[in-house]
């Protein structure tokens, strides 16, 4: 009996040693390409995912210089049972273009793809370009077009300093398991170079703290947050299902304080959230957003970007009551605006167009049938993203068709000097 037990013991030991050796020899594999987060002030966070690994680091240098610097990060096992690698770089030189390399367990990954990012611009800088688009992560097999959007954005990665994702990022229910198949696989030539700031949409709003919050590294509580970029202040909000805000009382208090703290320090105030307020698309007006108009007026918010309706629509500037801020008569140019009132734009045209695929109800915009005559300044029913450029006191935006790069709408807002 003793001999049998000894034999069994040796056998088990042998198995476990074998298993240990096997685990140690397992090669590190990249599961998710790097993506850039929280590019604010002089910092940036770089994340990527691997099959194994307990250590990670990033090598980086200003493009064209010789010496690499290395910063170690942290790893953790995700809710999808892979390893998240996270490294934050600090004290970056404003506007400098950096090359970078990623390492897990001392293995350099993605050796065949040149990686770079541009450090956030300085406080005194007043010129930059970014993009905004929502309603993206519909699988291609269900008729979605995240592939077209990824390709269209790739053409502009040298220009974009960051992107705003306007919610409904992962259909149908924002689960972590779907982030790679519905989103990241299509943006492997965009996200490693251009940081993104997302907000939650209703489709992402299923246990967001167990999914959305685990996928992104955002400022604040990640549901709502703000950041400064050059001469602009950006605020991302959580409109939950559209009827009331997430943690409404707390979020409103935070929003008022945040906008009040900015005061006149920044020339531009831009809010991004998922649900439209007033609009003439096929969606209703969402109370969560409409209720914010008086706050936007009080604190001088210039622009609100939203998704939700799977189309593109730009409204003429409104006041805090949701009325037109100026009459659109007397031959005023509908593409040039003084910075009076709030310009609201729906850019839910990222990857799931109304009338196609899993959303087959036909839709043809017709502002003449809208309950708000004269509100719509421009519309286009096509896959599109918005490219925005700030040059000091002028903001120029273009809605660009993802299929062929055609400009579907363009306008400018001018601040008084």
For Fe ion, give the closer residue by CB, 168 or 238.
168
Select 138 or 222, whichever has its Cβ closest to Fe ion: 138
Q: Is 196 within 8 Å of 37 (Cβ atoms)?
A: yes
Taking the complex as a whole, the smallest distance from the CB of residue 86 to Fe ion amounts, in Å, to 29
Residue nearer to Fe ion on the CB measure, 316 or 352: 352
Edge-to-edge strand ranges of the sheet holding 343-347? 225-229, 232-236, 268-272, 303-306, 343-347, 312-315, 376-380
Binding site for Fe ion (CB under 5 A): 168, 201-202, 308
Shortest separation between residue 102's beta carbon and Fe ion, angstroms: 33
- Residue given tokens 């007026």 in the structure block: 297
| Both tokens assigned to 2 | 């003793």
Task: Report CA-CA distances (Å) from 299 to 92, 264, 267.
Answer: 31, 9, 12
Smallest gap from residue 239 Cβ to Fe ion (A): 9
Q: Considering the complex, what minimum distance in angstroms separates the CB of residue 349 from Fe ion?
A: 12
Residue positions counted in the chain: 417
Q: Which is nearer to Fe ion, 223 or 308 (CB)?
A: 308
301's CB contacts (< 8 A; 6+ apart) are 235, 259, 269, 270, 271, 295, 342
Residue 103 or 312 with smaller CB distance to Fe ion = 312
Single out the residue of 351, 407, 384 nearest to residue 147, CA to CA.
Answer: 351
Q: For Fe ion, which is the closer residue by CB, 341 or 350? A: 350
Q: Which is nearer to Fe ion, 155 or 241 (CB)?
A: 241
Q: How far is the CB of 283 from Fe ion (least distance, A)?
A: 8
CB 62 within 8 A of CB 97: yes
Largest Cα separation within the chain, whole Å, is: 103
| Alpha-carbon span 83 to 86, nearest angstrom | 10
Q: How far is the CB of 83 from Fe ion (least distance, A)?
A: 31
Rounded to a whole number of angstroms, the CA Rg of the chain reads: 24
| Minimum CB–partner distance for residue 308 and Fe ion (Å) | 4
Name the residue with the smallest CB distance to Fe ion. Answer: 308
The token duo for 201 is: 């949409």
């Amino acid at each position: 009996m003793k001999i049998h037990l000894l034999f069994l013991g040796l056998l088990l030991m042998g198995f476990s040693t074998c298993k240990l050796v096997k685990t140690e020899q397992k090669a590190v594999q990249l599961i998710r390409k790097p993506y850039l987060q929280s590019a604010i002030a002089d910092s940036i966070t770089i994340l990527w995912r691997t099959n194994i690994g307990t250590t990670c680091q990033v090598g980086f240098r200003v493009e064209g210089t010789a010496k690499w610097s290395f910063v170690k990060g942290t790893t953790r096992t995700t809710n999808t049972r892979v390893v998240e690698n996270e490294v934050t770089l600090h004290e970056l030189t404003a506007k400098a273009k950096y090359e970078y390399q990623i390492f897990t367990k001392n293995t350099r990954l993605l050796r065949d793809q040149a990686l770079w990012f541009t450090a956030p611009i300085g406080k005194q800088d007043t010129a930059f370009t970014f993009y905004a688009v929502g309603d993206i992560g519909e699988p291609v097999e269900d008729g979605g077009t995240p592939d077209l959007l990824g390709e269209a954005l790739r053409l502009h990665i040298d220009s974009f300093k960051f992107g705003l994702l306007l919610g409904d990022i992962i259909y149908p229910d924002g689960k972590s398991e779907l982030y790679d198949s519905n989103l990241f696989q299509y943006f492997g030539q965009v996200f490693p170079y251009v940081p993104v700031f997302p907000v939650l949409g209703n489709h992402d709003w299923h246990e967001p703290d167990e999914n959305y919050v685990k996928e992104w590294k955002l400022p604040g509580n990640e549901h709502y947050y703000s950041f400064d970029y050059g001469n602009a202040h950006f605020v991302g909000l959580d409109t939950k299902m559209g009827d009331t805000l997430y943690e409404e009382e707390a979020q409103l208090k935070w929003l008022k304080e945040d906008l009040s703290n900015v005061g006149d320090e920044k020339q531009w105030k831009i809010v991004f959230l998922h649900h439209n307020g007033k609009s003439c698309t096929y969606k209703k007006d969402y109370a969560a957003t409409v209720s914010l108009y008086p706050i936007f007026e009080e604190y001088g918010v210039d622009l609100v970007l939203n998704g939700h309706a799977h189309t593109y629509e730009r409204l003429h500037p409104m006041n805090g009551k949701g009325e037109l801020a100026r009459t659109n008569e007397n031959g005023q140019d509908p593409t040039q605006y003084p910075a009076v009132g709030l310009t609201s734009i729906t850019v839910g045209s990222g990857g799931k167009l109304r009338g196609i695929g899993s959303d087959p109800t036909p839709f043809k915009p017709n502002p003449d049938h809208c309950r708000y005559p004269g509100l719509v300044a421009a519309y286009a029913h096509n896959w599109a993203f918005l490219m925005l450029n700030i040059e000091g006191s002028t903001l120029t935006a273009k809605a660009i068709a993802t299929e062929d790069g055609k400009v579907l709408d363009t306008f400018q807002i001018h601040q008084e000097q």
